[in-house]
Structure 1
Amino acid sequence: MYCPECGTESSDNTNFCQQCGENLKQSSELVTKTPKTGSTNGKVKCPVCHAHNPAGVSKCKYCGEWIDKSNAPYPHTLSTVLGYIFAILGGWLGLVFGLYLLRQDNKKAKLHGKIILGILGLWVLILIALAMS
């Protein structure tokens, strides 16, 4: 069986494409593409379901989770952008977005959350300095 999205060859008992993560069980499209070449030998263990996958795959062929989360798309783009906008404008929503990002299980999200809270901290210092003068 070949993935209808990227053409990677997969075994019949595979639920998700090893390369792009396409759900193969829900796909009704007839696949005629040829598989991609150049895969490496070896196995890599899924961090979620602990299944062994061929080396070089992006997603687990059994559960569909990312093997290496650094390759996963950043899921908090909108929250990050809105957080920066509201933090720069000095609004309380910047605090909400900053705290939201800080609580996520993603290093990039935590970093952006800290930066947003830092920007808000600067706003507080500026307001205090203006109030004292």
Structure 2
Amino acid sequence: MIRRCPQCGTAADDKYGFCYKCGYEFPKIEVDPDTCQSCGFHNPPEADYCVKCGAPLVFKQQFEKTSTTNLGPIVIQKEVVQRPPEQRQNRTSRWLILFGYIFSILGGVIGLIIAIYLSTRKDPVARKHGHIQLAIFIFYIALILILYATGNIPADAIAQYKQILSGNFTRI
């Protein structure tokens, strides 16, 4: 708080307790930190500014600074969690997971093979992605069966597909 020295008239900060020009000792002021120094209004304890006039509660801020400076430094430690070797994912399984999704979405047999391979691994991440890829295949099979049962896919299309797979395809 800035006070005017009664001896020399110099404006001085009274946080030191004396005038820095002439050495006059300021009398100590006992104040409530919740009372505004500008208007004298008593504020609630959680207020940082006066509720009536909006002036900052200077003594409250000084009390908070002195109370927090007595505390020790805040130390934040970051824990580095190492996965056990059986849970680490290598590059091969990452590529297999990627290609498994590509081929399972395209509906190929290679995607089914990769999905079965991944679902039999010990790595829980690879096993989870293998199960998801198998679920994609089950969805495709269910979709084809529904379309066949409703007549949207003719039986000739399935017969032609079987001929393509066996290599005996002839154009009509």
How does the TM-score come out when normalised to structure 1? 0.47
Highest RCO, 1 vs 2 (Cα 8 Å, sep ≥ 6): 1
| Higher helix proportion | 2
